[in-house]
Each structure stands twice: as structure tokens, then as C-alpha cells.
């Protein structure tokens, strides 16, 4: 189907704005942050949010906790932002995390992992892994779930590069025998960094926000060598066994180089016996998760994801 009209208008606005090249990473990061601050937000309520820090063996990570305003679940979603492993932060994804928290009734812990190329694979993933383990150990201290009783159920999630990290954390949790995860929410995730020649990379190479060239550049910034892309923690689709993983909801966008990454990962999970649901995004583009205030289709897909989380983390 064609682009949703609101998405087409958004792309026209973006095309009229100056944009720093990825080769000037400082300016690119500043531009990404500035652009995120100008996006409209939905008027959704939460009980509050607070910034905190998570100690890890290598560093101390900034994080932000979102507390829901409605009676709901005791669940906790540990969320990793997108940005090509090289850009974005807690603020760029503040509205997205607020929306997920408000609609799902689930607490959301957004984690600012260290960025590439200053810190390359596997260290951003290590940050996400340690943050997830810390969240599992401290869930009861992060504010009671709205229902006030019962143990916390834990999920991981993220968009784009963050979806890649969340999928890899789920693999590591299975390999390590814990922490126990009840769900993984993967929003247009990158799942095979060794292959950037899928049909969606070709069909959506330019003109839809994220370009195929930019995606390849992000991968190069994240990995030390091309060989890293063959590791399942960098490319979860290449894991020899995808069985025994937590239920996954995978959202994709029609006009996105990463569309096939998400669809193929859903199929591979299902083939391995893991529960996976694929929610396609007709007429949508990469980054639609942050466009809910201007795009009805984006809002509907994100609200469906939030309700899926509520169901999976209930109790």
C-alpha cells in the first residue's frame, strides 16, 4: 500500500531540513537529538518518571524509570533505544517510553548504553545485559507494580539497533539460565548484520528516512570487523538454535530497509518452536514508533504492542 498520508507529509518536512552527514558524528548526534525534541507528543498520563544510574562491571549507565498511572500489571520492561548503536539517548525516546508505559500499565526502564564507535561490539550489548540482570535483581525496588501484589515479570525491548540488542540479551539470558524473561518486544530490529542485500534493503534504499547506505555505515561503526557480524549476539538470526526463547512481538514497517530482518526473524523463531508474532506496518517507515502523535497507523501499532506487553506481563 502507499505511504500513510501523515507519514508522507512527515518525510516531506524532513527533506526540507538540513541534516548533518553521519561522517560528522558529533553534528549527526546533535541533529538527531534536536529533531526528536521537535516531534509532537501524545497527551498520555503516567504516574511519574525518575532518572537513576545502573552500576555495571565496566561503567555506570544512565537510565530512566517510568511508572504507570493505571491499575495494571507488575511487569517491568527494560528498553534499549534505537539510533544505529551510535546515536540517540534517553531523551530522544522519552515519548516512546512514556506511551508504552501509559498504555500497557507496565513499568519501563529505559537504558542509555554506551555508544559506538567509541565503544564497539560487544560492549554496548554487555551494557544492556548487565542492565537487564540488575533490573531483575532490583525490580521490587523500582516501585511496586500497579496491582501491588505478585512478583515482577520481566521483558526486554527496543527499536532498530535497540531491537537488535534486546534480541541478543534474550539469547544471552537463555544461554546463562536467567534472568527469566517473559517477553521480548522487537520494533523493526536489525537481526542479521552480515547481510544487507535483502529485498527490503533494495526496495527501500532511499527516500524513506533511514537509507540502506546509512544502515551499512551504522553497522560498520558498531562492529570491529566484518567477522563480528557472524556472531549470533550481533546477528541473532544466525543463532544455531532459536528455541526456548521468550515470546516475541516483532513490529516491522513496509518502507524500511530492515523490514525483512524482522520478518525473517519472526519466521525463524516460529520454525524453532519459539512463540513469535509478526505485526507488519503497511504504509509505515522506520522510526514510526516515535511518530504516534502524528500518524494514526503508528499509534495503532504501538498501542497494540503495549497491550501485548500488558497481556504478557500481567499478574
Nearest to 221 by CA among 100, 65, 117, 96: 117
Adjacency order of strands within the sheet including 154-159: 48-55, 60-67, 107-112, 76-80, 154-159, 183-187, 248-251, 276-279
Question: Is 182 a catalytic site residue?
Answer: no
Specify whether 256 is catalytic: yes
**Judging by beta carbons within 10 Å of its beta carbon (0-12, 13-18, 19+), is residue 6 exposed, middle or buried?**
middle
106, 310 Cβ separation under 8 angstroms: yes
Cα separation, 79 vs 185, whole angstroms: 9
Q: Is 261 a catalytic residue?
A: no
- 88, 286, 298, 303: the active-site residue: 286
DSSP bridge partners of 53: 62
**Bridge partners of 55?**
60
Which of the following is catalytic: 104, 152, 160, 298? 160
Integer Cα distance of 22 and 197 in angstroms: 21
Residues 6 or more apart whose CB falls under 8 angstroms from that of 199 comprise 260
Per the residue annotation, which of 159, 256, 260, 261 is the catalytic one? Answer: 256
Q: Which residues are catalytic?
A: 160, 256, 286
Amino acid at each position: 500500500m502507499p505511504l500513510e498520508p501523515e507519514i508522507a507529509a512527515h518525510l516531506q518536512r524532513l527533506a526540507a531540513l538540513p541534516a548533518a552527514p553521519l561522517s560528522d558524528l558529533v553534528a549527526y548526534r546533535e541533529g538527531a537529538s534536536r529533531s526528536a525534541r521537535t516531534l509532537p507528543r501524545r497527551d498520555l498520563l503516567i504516574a511519574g518518571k525518575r532518572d537513576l544510574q545502573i552500576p555495571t562491571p565496566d561503567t555506570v549507565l544512565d537510565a530512566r524509570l517510568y511508572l504507570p498511572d493505571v491499575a495494571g500489571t507488575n511487569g517491568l520492561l527494560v528498553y534499549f533505544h534505537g539510533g544505529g548503536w551510535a546515536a540517540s539517548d534517553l531523551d530522544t525516546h522519552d515519548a516512546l517510553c512514556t506511551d508504552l508505559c501509559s498504555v500497557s500499565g507496565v513499568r519501563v526502564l529505559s537504558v542509555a548504553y554506551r555508544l559506538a564507535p567509541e565503544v564497539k561490539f560487544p560492549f554496548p550489548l554487555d551494557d544492556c545485559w548487565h542492565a537487564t540482570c540488575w533490573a531483575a535483581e532490583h525490580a521490587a525496588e523500582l516501585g511496586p507494580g500497579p496491582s501491588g501484589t505478585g512478583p515482577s515479570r520481566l521483558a526486554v525491548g527496543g527499536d532498530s539497533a535497540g531491537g537488535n540488542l534486546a534480541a541478543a540479551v534474550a539469547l544471552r539470558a537463555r544461554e546463562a539460565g536467567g534472568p527469566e524473561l517473559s517477553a521480548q518486544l522487537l520494533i523493526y530490529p536489525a537481526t542479521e548484520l552480515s547481510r544487507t542485500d535483502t529485498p527490503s534493503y533494495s526496495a527501500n534504499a532511499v527516500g524513506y528516512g533511514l537509507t540502506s547506505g546509512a544502515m551499512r555505515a551504522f553497522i560498520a561503526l558498531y562492529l570491529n570487523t566484518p567477522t563480528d557480524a557472524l556472531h549470533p549476539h550481533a546477528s541473532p538470526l544466525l543463532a544455531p538454535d532459536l528455541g526456548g526463547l521468550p515470546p516475541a512481538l516483532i513490529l516491522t514497517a513496509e518502507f524500511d530497509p530492515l523490514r525483512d530482518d524482522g520478518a525473517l526473524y519472526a519466521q525463524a523463531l516460529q520454525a524453532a518452536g519459539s512463540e513469535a508474532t509478526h505485526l507488519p506496518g503497511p504504509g509505515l517507515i522506520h522510526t514510526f514508533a516515535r511518530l504516534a502523535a502524528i500518524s494514526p497507523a503508528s499509534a495503532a501499532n504501538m498501542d497494540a504492542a503495549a497491550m501485548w506487553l500488558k497481556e504478557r506481563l500481567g499478574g
